[in-house]
Amino acid sequence: MQQCADALIRLRAEYLFGQKRYNEIGFHFTSGDFYSWKDYCSGKRPLVKGSTVSFYQVASCGETHKNLRTYLNIVFAYAGTISIANKLKEADSFAVGTIIITPGSPGHCCIIVDEAITINNERIYKLVEGFTPAQSIYVVSNPYDKKMNSWYKLEKGSIHTSSYYFKNYQLKNSNELSFRQTCF
């Protein structure tokens, strides 16, 4: 179960883990400090005091899925919508992989996971998110247009989903997550 930013972090980490792209798994904490899966496996652990992060050394561990989930629990504690928004590049339009985000404490985010074109030649999108309190990742339903079910017509301006009203938001490009320097 994850909150909104945790859900996006987990999706990215699970994807890279499944591809055996272990060196690309890494995220910035809200403090700006970068913490990679490779660091975790080599035994590096964060020690947070206030807004200062230092790292200490423990025994190394294997690159197992169980250890990935333990690593992600650490990341979930220290990363969120602020660190995601700070580290990803802007996106100019809605497309699969675009993150819709309002950074803050609290903030909120979701990601576009599917796109279709209606018979009227309009683009529609499917969104997924986690929420607070922590929940399983789920597809966002559309209670405002029953014919659309879980699809949304997205346009620049306010976005009202079943769970959140995005008034002042940013569009971020999740495709930038493939390089260490731009991981959130």
Return the pLDDT at 25: 96
What mean pLDDT comes out for the span 49-58?
A: 93
Distance CA 108, CA 131 (A): 8
- The residue ranking higher by pLDDT, 72 or 145, is 72
Torsion of CA 46, 13, 142, 167, to 10 degrees: 50
For 57-68, b/e burial (b = at least 16 CB within 10 A) is eeeeeeeeeeeb
Summarised one tens digit per residue, pLDDT across range 134-184 is 778 899 999 998 888 899 999 888 999 988 999 889 899 886 443 333 333
What mean pLDDT comes out for the span 91-115?
A: 92
- The pair phi, psi for residue 65, each rounded to 5°, is -65, -35
Residue ranges per structural domain of the chain: 4-86, 90-178
